[in-house]
Amino acid sequence: MSSNVDRHREIAEGEITVVQLPTGADAKASFLSKLQHALQAGGTLGALVPAHAQDVYWVPQVVERVLRERLRLDDSAWDTRLRTWGALAVNQLTRDAAFHVLQRGAVVIDGKLIGTDKVAVTTASPGVRNGKSMKMLPRDFQGPYDWHLDERGANVVEAWRLFASVSRFQSALPWIDLRVGHIDTGYTEHAALAWEGGSSSTVRVSEGHDYWDNPKKPHAWDDPRDAWLPGFPGHGTRISGAISGFAVGLSHQPFFGAAPGVGIVPLRVTDSVIVDHRKREIALAITRAVESGCHVINISLGALFGSRKLADALDFAYERGVIVVCAAGQVWGEVIYPGRYNRCVTMGGVGPGLKPWRSAARGQYVDLCGPADHIRRLKAESLPPGTAAQEILSKADGDGTSYATATCSGVAALWLAWHGIDALKDRYGARGLWCLPAAFKKLARQTATPGGWSESEQGLYGSGVINAGTLLAAPLPTPEELVKARLAADVFDPFD
């Protein structure tokens, strides 16, 4: 990569710890509980993610740093402590090896996931709030609510209530005509995404594209259905649910994304959430999403290295007034690409109590945090076309900055609907459409809720936790108050 392609500080070399745990579920849960107890009130870690072999799991880099500092452990003492907690073996992987393993992800044989399951200690969504059944207007979005949706999390419930209190939003879902370009593994059919009889009013399949099987015809339509390949099959569906999902009667409580029913345009680019092998396709997908009229782009993916095409695509989206939201990443402690670039909103993660999710990347490139631990999610399934999955997992063991990113993308759609796309373009268009993503990011950072991190960690988790209700209520900045961000691949812009 030439020096002018990416002027940001490179992702540091280093190592990450992996542990082999006993086969039994109780022993694995005990190990995770001891890790969480050692973190005390300093952060959450609701699950451990499997690594490269049976019963082998990652110890997130930030967890290791925090515990080494808190418990004053050198290398040998760290190894000993992990074994004391139940690890059968402790090893280290280099940065490049770790990213290679993360890219590979799960194994799929005959359409079924094979391999070690995630270890989780959560048994239910923390502290649900009671309510009634749901229809498809904001005033009817009744709970109980998962923690990450109400005032304990991203406060999107308050945003829905703002819409419900305004007469002009009474007759139709205010954000129904907005579209989120979702760059991921593609779609599968699920009832919580309005799939019935082989079609969906939420997932705009005909506007999407499959860049995995049809990369040479980027302007032709091709079905971006998730092919359930080894890697992270179903990821696109799970994250779509966090953006746009809604369902009553499929589980013990209603299921909501941040912007229930907002249009999802599926752009299939990858088999994995680690995408160093797919950066060209992501750049093409960003360009297509902008040209086809998407208002927000969600990228719950990451790469170890940047690229000129990827940076240029972010610049194109920014100049055309499209809000691009990217994941900071996890397991490895540093933010990955494209979230490392300017001109996007880069999301770190928190858990209940707005405490840092200790698997999340952190540092100067993080703009905001969103809920990323103890998340209830859709069960994505590889079913024949025309058959919609019905299940919503009752165990709130979803985690990842992918979910924080999805929440922010949904909130961006709410913000655009609240002010109106045409009104925003009238307000800012004379200065440049870049003012739309700039205004959203500025206000989102200004209205964020303070997170539960220590004084020594200030600056590592962005401006705080995104707060949809406060964001929508905040007055818009004038065009003159906005400052155009440096180019995506330019040096880090602290004012972006």
Q: What's the pLDDT band for 3 if we cut at 50, 70, 90?
A: very low
pLDDT of residue 489: 96
142 and 82 fall within a common domain: no
* 364 & 218 share domain: yes
Report the CATH number at residue 272. Answer: 3.40.50.200
Strand partners, 325: 298, 345
Supply the angle between the helices 25-39 and 61-71 in degrees, to the nearest 10: 60
Instruction: Confirm if 382 and 388 have CB atoms less than 8 A apart.
Output: no
- Give a yes or no: residue 386 inside a domain: yes
d(CA 319, CA 287): 12
Question: In the block, which residue shows the tokens 């997992």?
Answer: 393
Average pLDDT, the chain: 93
CA pair distance 345, 84, nearest whole angstrom: 41
Let me know whether 113 and 148 are in one domain: no
Per-residue pLDDT of 419-458, as tens digits, reads 999 999 999 999 999 999 999 999 999 999 999 999 999 9
**102 and 159 inside one domain:** no
Q: Is residue 133 part of a domain?
A: no
Tens-place pLDDT, residues 62-93: 999 999 999 999 999 999 999 999 999 999 99
How far is the CA of 103 from the CAs of 100, 210, 232, 277, in angstroms? 5, 19, 9, 9
Relative to beta strand 15-20, strand 56-59 is: antiparallel
384 and 471: one domain?
yes
In a shared domain, residues 380 and 328? yes
- The CA distance from 159 to 164, in Å, is 9
In a domain, 131, yes or no: no
Residue 36 in domain? yes
**Could you tell me if residue 261 is left (phi over 0), alpha (psi between -120 and 50 degrees) or otherwise beta?**
left
pLDDT score of 4:
45
Domain boundary among 50, 83, 118: 118
Q: Where are the alpha helices (DSSP H) in 51-112?
A: 61-71, 75-84, 95-104
The mean pLDDT of 290-294, rounded to a whole number, is 97
For residue 260, being part of any structural domain is answered with yes
Q: Is 307 helix (H, G, I), strand (E, B) or coil?
A: coil
Q: Answer yes or no: is 341 within a domain.
A: yes
Last residue in a domain, options 64, 85, 118: 118
* Number of domains into which the chain is organized: 2
Domain encompassing residue 339:
138-481
Distances (CA, A) of 91 to 27, 94, 101, 430: 19, 10, 14, 57
